[in-house]
Structure 1
Amino acid sequence: MKQVGFFDVDERLRRVSDLGDPLEVMAEIIDFEGFRPVLDKALARSDRSKGGRPPFDPVLMFKILILQALNDLSDERAEFLITDRLSYMRFLGLGLGDKAPDRNTIWTFREKLKEAGVIDDLFASFDKQITSSGYHATHGQLVDASLVNAPKQRLTDAEKAAIKEGKTARDIWENPKRAAQKDTEARWTIKYSKKKAGAPKGQVDIAIPAFGYKSHIMTDRAHGFIRSFTVTDASRHDGAQLSDLLRRDIMATGVWADSAYRSKKNEAWLARHGLISHIHRKKPPGKLMPDHIRRGNATRSKVRAFVEHVFADQKHRMGMKIRTIGIDRAKIKIGLCNIAYNMRRLVCHERRARA
């Protein structure tokens, strides 16, 4: 077999570029160095006076988390692909002779970000980069939520009762290894699927139990970027998160959301803060939906539907799901998916503008 030389690698990378390497375009458009101040503060690097192996660059490690979010990669799969793919090496700034982070290093880095609680700061940092690129949040705020599945828990009735009382995993299970595998923060909920075409008249929607967390987001109507987010367990009501998602520091006063967000409390809060409600109206209990309300909801749906495209992209293209235990890790996962989605959208806007 012919020995591979540096010129052969350069030729292969040129070929990858000619075929259209999305990671090369992303590295060109996005300023990853803008995340360094937040990362350095979160990691609190030591002065290394006692020696030891130098740590990997935090921006490189953050890029790995973005690769994982974009491609639904486990730590093991990420380690393999970083070592195997030239496009991944180039994106991370690694050469053929450089040592790549292993799965334990990736896990440890993500855990440090979780312990520092900086996912909101990282998200805000990139939101500023989006705005400084000229994509201001205007024309309205679209709000929605989506269930994100987590590993289901097999529990006894006594264990379920203990969780409802607010006990932690270590309080319930004496074995620390078993306790570490039990998620006491995710919750069950019921989601309803729409009736299939041709179903018998009067058939109710199918109720499907789901276990995990909820991703709540707000996107701007003008450009479709996620501008704020929050994460709760799956049992939380969507409407209770409205005031935490809406922003009053942007040029967007209109609010679009489905009927789960309509309540007297939310309508009063919107009016008090100068925001205009375009939230869907609910069907009167025990009555048919009046035609004027149905037409109004249909008009609102033409705007509100765009926020659902975000979840469709994250779940079907990016494979967003929860593999870990606990809401803090779930927030890191969902937050990174939101940042990665915004990165892809910024690349899309910038390429369109240049064309």
Structure 2
Amino acid sequence: MSGQIGFWGVQDRLSQLSEQGDPLEKLAATVDFEMFRAELFKAVRPGIRSKGGRPPFDPVLKFKMLVLQALNGLSLEQTEFLVKDRLSWMRFCGLGPGDNVPDANTLWDFREALIAADALEALFARLDRAITEASYLPMSGQIIDATLVSAPRQRNTDDEKAKIKAGESAQEIWTDEPFKARQKDTDARWTVKFSKAKPAEDDQKQQIDIAIPTFGYKNHISIDRRHGVIRTPLVTDAAAHDGARLREGLIDPDNTASDVWADSAYRSAENERFLEKAGKTSRIHRRKPKGKPIPARTRKAKAAKSVVRSCVEHVFARQNGPIGMAIRTIGMARAKATITLANMADNMNRWRWLNSRTASA
């Protein structure tokens, strides 16, 4: 029977993790989470505690756990378990094996407080300011795109769907079933995503379109071309048209270059006039003429633009691949919180990668 692990045994194990390149240790060295303390205290507003009772958990600790959740696409229960289970996660949170860990309910209440105080936008802006101050300025133009984020599917009747589209709340639709109303998401929407697939016959080179119905929300982002950092995010329901969102705050005025890249969904006369008025240069893809082949000149320009525009897909590949981002909650406010935290976590990881590249140069 092995003896109980001691203090030095834990330290030796942590040293081994450091030697193997613990990414969370590097992330903690890159991002000073104390910079969020002021905004977190504004949102949480801890009151004066009466004598006795357990002191409240540090808001920075709880925020770190929400970042871990966003980095790994976990539920709050899984996050609580893994912070208790993994030494590297404990160290990232500033905890030891014997320290108390906030449970899932505590994290839920903390996130609800951030949502109620509308603090997540301020936290995102504080992180962006820190990245900029670290010499990673928004420069070389910006790339705009959006991705779908699935939410729990709803099973509603045609009459209920009509009421939802008319703007009625869940409490108004299911007045006699309050518990059912609490589980109904009237903010998310259905949309159809088209994907390319090869036909069954391998000798055919053409591709066919596959329509994939998706229920949920949409994450619109603008990244800077030079560093690939998300600078301006926007969250809508899944049915919102991409092109119209360009005029709703996605353009970053602080980017040092005027070029704006986006796919053909953003191409419209209104957007072109908007960009020209804002002093931006449109690099948006042109649409294929209906019933006609793409002209050689347009095809060549489109290929050159795609080389730049494809960089934004790397962000979505991380969020939809390793993270597997999905909405587990009900309503726009909580969906926006989940997506904003995922965007913040991606920026933190990107900052860590940029620092490692600079150090190795």
TM-score, with structure 1 as normaliser: 0.97
Gaps of 5+ in 1: none
Matched residue type, 2:42: K
Q: Output the CA distance in 2 between the equivalents of 1:147 and 1:96.
A: 39
The equivalent position to 1:324 in structure 2, one of 329, 338, 341, is 329
Pick which of 286-295 and 156-165 moved more. 286-295
Identical-residue share of aligned pairs (%)? 55
Q: Output the CA distance in 2 between the equivalents of 1:334 and 1:60.
A: 20
Q: Output the CA distance in 2 between the equivalents of 1:353 and 1:57.
A: 33
In the alignment, which residue of structure 2 is the partner of 1:250? 255
Deviations 1:204-227 (A, max 9, x none): 511111111000000000011011
Matched residue type, 1:233: D
Q: CA deviation at 1:69?
A: 0.7
Matches within 5 A, 1:22-101: 22-49=23-50, 52-101=53-102
In the alignment, which residue of structure 2 is the partner of 1:271? 276
SS of structure 1 residue aligned to 2:197: coil
Q: CA deviation at 1:46?
A: 1.2
The equivalent position to 1:214 in structure 2, one of 186, 198, 218, is 218
Say if 1:266 and 1:145 are closer, same or farther in 2 by CA, change over 3 A.
same
Matched residue type, 2:280: L
SS of structure 1 residue aligned to 2:321: helix
Between Structure 1 and Structure 2, how many residues are aligned? 355
In the alignment, which residue of structure 2 is the partner of 1:179? 181
Matches within 5 A, 1:298-313: 298-313=303-318
In the alignment, which residue of structure 2 is the partner of 1:234? 238
CA contact (8 A) 2:198 2:207 kept: no
In the alignment, which residue of structure 2 is the partner of 1:348? 353
Q: CA deviation at 1:52?
A: 4.4
Say if 1:161 and 1:199 are closer, same or farther in 2 by CA, change over 3 A.
farther
Matches within 5 A, 1:2-41: 2-41=3-42
Q: Output the CA distance in 2 between the equivalents of 1:167 and 1:303.
A: 42
Matches within 5 A, 1:157-196: 157-173=158-174, 174-196=176-198
Q: Output the CA distance in 1 between the equivalents of 2:340 and 2:80.
A: 21
CA contact (8 A) 2:192 2:212 kept: yes
Deviations 1:260-281 (A, max 9, x none): 0010000000001100000001
CA contact (8 A) 2:140 2:255 kept: no
SS of structure 2 residue aligned to 1:278: strand
SS of structure 1 residue aligned to 2:310: helix
Matched residue type, 2:351: L
CA contact (8 A) 2:190 2:213 kept: yes
Q: Output the CA distance in 1 between the equivalents of 2:172 and 2:13.
A: 56
Q: CA deviation at 1:47?
A: 2.2
Deviations 1:160-191 (A, max 9, x none): 11111111111111222211111111000011
Q: Output the CA distance in 2 between the equivalents of 1:5 and 1:176.
A: 52
Structure 1 stretches of at least 4 aligned residues deviating more than 6 Å after TM superposition = none
TM-score, with structure 2 as normaliser: 0.95
Say if 1:161 and 1:102 are closer, same or farther in 2 by CA, change over 3 A.
same
Q: Output the CA distance in 1 between the equivalents of 2:52 and 2:165.
A: 47
CA RMSD of aligned residues (A): 1.5
Pick which of 34-43 and 212-221 moved more. 34-43
SS of structure 2 residue aligned to 1:317: coil
Matched residue type, 2:220: H
Q: CA deviation at 1:201?
A: 7.6
Matched residue type, 1:20: G
Say if 1:157 and 1:50 are closer, same or farther in 2 by CA, change over 3 A.
farther
In the alignment, which residue of structure 2 is the partner of 1:146? 147
Matched residue type, 1:230: L
